[in-house]
Structure 1
Amino acid sequence: MDGGVGRAGRVACAAAVLLVSAAFVVPRLATERWRDSIYAAAAPIFGHWYPHVGWGTVPALAIAAAVVLHGPALAARLSWPRLLLATWGTAFAWAFALAMVDGWKRGFTRRLTSGHEYLYEVPGVHDIPAMVRGFADRILDYQPDSWTTHVSGHPPGALLVFVWLDRIGLGGGAWAALVCVLAGTSATAAVLVAIRALGAPGRARAAAPYLALAPAAIWIAVSADALFAGVTAWAVALLAVATDPRRTRPGLAALSGLLFGFGLFLNYGLVLMAIPALFVLAVRGLPGVRAALPALAAVVTVVAAFAAAGFWWVDGYHLVVERYYQGIATTRPWTYWVWGNLAATVCAVGLAAVAALPLVFRGLRLPDPRALADGRGAAAVLANSTAALRVWRTRLDPAAVLAVGGLVALLAADLSGLSKAETERIWLPFEIWVLAGTALLPRGSARGWLAVQAGGALVLAHLLMTNW
């Protein structure tokens, strides 16, 4: 379909379809030994082929139809608070319905209870300060007390969240799953808040249905990375609100910094969330940078607090890299996953986000010099690079800026070589921002693109049994 995106959009979609097709087909044409080295039976998706239907099939179809038919119109006319709640609520219902395709236990309550997950270690944490102090000593594998896979691969903050839930009486897989899905789907509202705060309320409304119906919901329900996405999405959103030069909010900036800082102790890779944050500050300019100083101070405070408690982030990171290569990362071929990861990302963000990319990059393009002149002559303005940059910055499309911020962070993670497989889940904190670019799709084609998004998610949910 064209969908009003033009030739560049059609080319982007065609390339994405070829990429995903190749990523699914190549492993099946390869030798059995090479295929086994990938360690993903349904590569590029981490899971296995299992065509099935479930209790969530009919609700998922109904939610998809409702959003396709009525989402754009409702997004345009709802009051702002109701739009945020409706987007979050719909995203939650969509994610939950897709999880129920796999069943209550297999799709929801048992997702976080396997021997590789965080909840497996919760009963053994009797002394939280001692756990934090000794956390790094248990990261490397082949020790009697090595942490389980997911705990060892993340800083102690991730395990702490589930320990805290257990301490307040919300222990077990069902509560953990509920918290992760609520936090992960709240990221949809955070993206809308950020776009609006940067001066584009119309773009926020246009993006709402796409965020609510994102294929990424398959991995939001249920994975701990959904929680990570929610925490860091609100960090970016609060930063966008706090740095408004017309009314800076130091308190919100500090809260944003606390969330960014805690994000560093949820997942080492979330250090890359500095990239979307910098893109926000690029829109705000120097006044915004000054307004963000409380956020930086708060980040330093969180890092210092964990260091004082006995865990130094840098030491943990180096140990995790060593642990990473103690496992299947040594056999998973980077030559496949460096592009297979991107195919998995296309599955998570959908073709609508891909079709929007040419429009996104157009939204970052330097305006015509004659427009910059503003009656004073192009040469006079362009001679002053500071003035030219200032004019360019004021004309940036906020949705495009945020989408590129997420995309750059995602590409940096890919090129690091520390992301081989499972990125449809691991990159949720970046993917949610790539979806902001859907705000630039032509309004008249919204129903068609939403149908494409929903169709892709439903096919994946019913053909594959994902591991998360």
Structure 2
Amino acid sequence: MTLGELRRRRPVSPPGAAERSARSGWIAVALWTLLITGALVAGEWLRRAGLATEDDLPPLHAEPRLLTWQMLPAACVAAVSVSVLPSLAQRLSWRLLLPVSWGTAVAWTVALALSDGLDALHRPLDSPTEYPAGLDAVRADPGEWLSTFTERLGGYTTHVRGHPPLPMLVLWALEETGLRGTDWSAALIILVGTSAVVAIAITVRCVADEATARRAVPFLALAPLAVWIATSMDAFFLGVGAWATALVAVAAKRENLLAAAAGGLLLGSLPYLSYGLLPLFALPLAVALLTRITPRLLVVLLCCAAIVPLAFTLGGFWWPDGVAATHDTYVISRGSAQRSYAYFVIANIAVLGLLVGPATAHALPAALSNRRPLAWLVGAALIGLLTLDISGVTRGEVERIWLPYAAWVIAAAAHHKPPARPWLSAQTTLTLTLQALILSPW
């Protein structure tokens, strides 16, 4: 199908629909601005009153700072990408567009991170609270480490205590291949996290159409959430979750048993990467409903999804016990459980606004107001995220926790008519401002 045919197939809006869409979009941007401003003002008041814990800049787990000339490389990447990528997204063949979009996302992420110095890509992972600091316990005997993981949880580093054992085993396996050190761990996180751009584009193409996927690509590649891709392990979760959903979409679209098997394997791994990924299953469920997946593919998918849970159970890790133990450590933690639920249940949504940017806020009302497949994907991501938010276990630090969900919400920006460079400029300006003004531990 040619690009001309794709454009001709675009639905024609009824008279007055464009005006209503624009009006609702600007109302959404105004609400986006008020929500973020209000969350920052209320957070500063709570901090000064001694009612907010751990955070110097609530609702963000970060501290204020100011970068100037250090932002020049990232600003150059933004300028070139905003100028070139919208045209490439419409003109390149689909097979070439995917690696180009991935490369753009990598360049954008790395350029932002390097504004903090040449060691910025691995420095966050060198922290004593991060996963690599706990690898010595795994190296000694991985089998025993897994079987005793829950009972010894209190002795592990902060991020190990807050998650199931699979992230640690992934880093241990990376070392076993000879790729030792946090430089390689950072490379893995960045490459997998940014590959979500490709996975989400493939999913949108499968359940909606190629024209919609092409319009979404520039916004996915230049998303504000790139500030937290390098190097948060949650970016790895984003990539795995996105590819799990994409493989389900490809399997259903092409009746591909191998894709169904791979998708099921990745889906089964999600609860063992992070307890907070359970609501993310709303996305593959939406894809399965949209594509009307066949019973044969569904059986393959479910059987393969059981492999990882079965392997961990046989290895001595019982997932419900892990949830209970992690919750116990969370409740007695110094700060996280003491953060205000009433504040963060709202402020967490403000952080989502920062992750997705004003272009997404403007497009969201129109994207959700129809029954097209894109609305299903965006709605599923929002349902999963809101479920996690209301549960109360995500009080702060959601700039990384929301990554696996927020990237799908950004797909709503496909509503903007290409090349949409003013909106892309707004996205990159917000991203550069965030990187210049806040210092995050990730």
Which of 67, 74, 80 is the aligned partner of 1:60? 74
Q: Secondary structure at the match of 2:439?
A: strand
Alpha-carbon spacing, 1:5–1:99, altered in 2? closer, same or farther (3 Å): farther
Identity percentage over the alignment? Answer: 37
- Structure 2 equivalent of residue 326 of structure 1: 332
Q: Which amino acid aligns with 2:61?
A: F
- 1:59 is displaced (CA, Å) by 2.0
Opposite residue 201 of structure 1, the aligned amino acid is E
Q: Deviation at 1:400?
A: 2.3
Correspondence 1:293 to 2:299: yes
Structure 2 partner of 1:71: 85
Instruction: Give the Cα separation in 1 of the matches to 2:294 and 2:346.
Output: 36
SS in 1 for 2:63: strand
> CA–CA distance in 2 between the matches of 1:241 and 1:199?
12
**Matching residue of 1:414:** 389
Partner secondary structure for residue 273 of structure 2:
coil
Per-residue CA deviation, residues 335-380 of structure 1 (Å, 9 max, x unaligned), is 111011111111111111111111111232xxxxxxxxxxxxxxxx
Q: In the superposition, relative to structure 1, how do residues 433 and 54 fare at CA in structure 2: closer, same or farther (>3 Å)?
A: same
Query: Residue 461 in 1 paired to residue 421 in 2?
Result: no
Q: Which moved more, 1:307-316 or 1:291-300?
A: 291-300
1:395-440, CA deviations, whole angstroms, 9 ceiling, x for partnerless residues? x2x3222111111111111011010111110111111111111111
Q: Quick check: 2:197–2:220 contact (8 Å CA) kept in 1?
A: yes
Q: Counterparts of 2:98 and 2:323 in 1: how far apart (Å)?
A: 36
Task: Describe the SS at the equivalent of 1:46.
Answer: coil
CA contact (8 A) 2:336 2:396 kept: no
Question: How far is the alpha carbon of 1:33 from its aligned partner?
Answer: 4.0
Q: Which residue identity is paired with 1:110?
A: R
Distance change (3 Å), C-alpha of 1:233 and 1:278: same
- The answer for the alignment partner of 2:4 in structure 1 is none
Equivalent residue runs for 1:442-457 within 5 Å? 442-443=417-418, 446-457=420-431
1:90-148 deviation per Cα after TM superposition (whole angstroms, max 9, x unaligned): 0000000000111122x211111111100001123211111110111122x3xxxx111
Instruction: State the alpha-carbon separation in 2 of the partners of residues 268 and 76 from structure 1.
Output: 38
Letter in 1 for 2:339: R
Amino acid of the structure 2 residue aligned with 1:85: P
Please show how residues 99-138 of structure 1 align to structure 2 within 5 Å: 99-105=113-119, 107-125=120-138, 126-138=140-152
Deviations along 1:168-202, whole A, 9 cap, x unmatched?
22121211111100000000000001011124100
Counterpart of 1:96 in structure 2 is 110
Question: 1:152 and 2:161 equivalent?
Answer: yes
The answer to whether residue 229 in structure 2 is matched with residue 254 in structure 1 is no
Match of 2:50 in 1: 34
Matched-pair contact (CA < 8 Å) for 1:3–1:442: no
Number of aligned positions between the proteins: 423
Distance 2:47 2:81 in 1: 43
Number of the residue aligned with 2:252:
243
Confirm or deny: 8 A CA contact 2:54 2:336 kept in the other structure: no
| Segment of structure 1 superposing worse, 321-330 or 81-90 | 321-330
1:3 CA displacement: 11
5+ residue gaps, structure 2 = 1-17
Tell me what 1:212 maps to.
221
TM-score, normalised to structure 2, is 0.92
- Measure how far apart 1:31 and its partner are: 6.2
- 8 Å Cα contact 1:345/1:431 also seen in 2: yes
Could you tell me which residue of structure 2 aligns to residue 196 of structure 1? Answer: 205
* Equivalent position of 1:310 in the other structure: 316
For 1:51, which of 28, 42, 66 is the aligned residue? 66
* Partner amino acid, structure 2, of 1:454: T
Partner in structure 2 of residue 16 of structure 1:
32
Deviations, residues 273-314 of structure 1 (Å, cap 9, x unaligned): 2101111112123x4465222111111121111100100111
Partner of 2:173: 164
Counterpart selection for 1:82 from 81, 86, 96: 96
Q: 1:361 to 1:31 in 2, by over 3 A?
A: closer
Letter aligned with residue 78 of structure 2:
A
Letter in 1 for 2:297: A
TM, length-normalised to structure 1: 0.87
Q: Give 1:4 deviation, angstroms.
A: 9.4
Match for residue 356 of structure 2 among 345, 349, 352 = 349
How do 1:343-422 and structure 2 match up within 5 A? 343-364=350-371, 396=372, 398-422=373-397
Looking at structure 2, the residues matched to 406 and 199 of structure 1 have their Cα atoms a distance apart, in angstroms, of: 16
> 1:54 Cα deviation (Å)?
5.8
Distance in 1 separating the partners of 2:39 and 2:275: 27
The letter of the residue matching 1:463 is: L
Return closer, same or farther for 1:31/1:54 CA change in 2, 3 Å cut-off. closer
Q: Distance in 1 between matches of 2:68 and 2:415?
A: 34
Are 1:284 and 2:300 an aligned pair? no
Look up the SS of the partner of 1:251 in the other structure: helix
Q: Which amino acid aligns with 1:130?
A: E
Code of the residue aligned with 1:443 in structure 2: it is: P
Tell me which moved more, 190-199 or 22-31: 22-31
**Alpha-carbon deviation of 1:5?**
4.7
Distance across 1 between alignment mates of 2:294 and 2:257: 11
Task: Measure, in 1, the Cα distance between the counterparts of 2:268 and 2:284.
Answer: 12
Distance 2:321 2:21 in 1: 47
Contact kept, 8 Å, 1:194 with 1:237, in 2: the verdict is: yes
Please give the per-residue CA displacement for 1:202-230, whole angstroms capped at 9, x wherever unaligned.
01100010011001101001111111110
Alignment check: 8 A CA contact 1:350 1:456 kept: yes
1:426 equivalent among 401, 406, 416? 401
Aligned to 1:45, the other structure's residue is in SS state coil
Contact 1:280 1:402 in 2 (8 A): yes
> Could you tell which deviates more after superposition, 162-171 or 128-137?
162-171
Structure 1 spans left out of the alignment, 5+ residues: 365-395
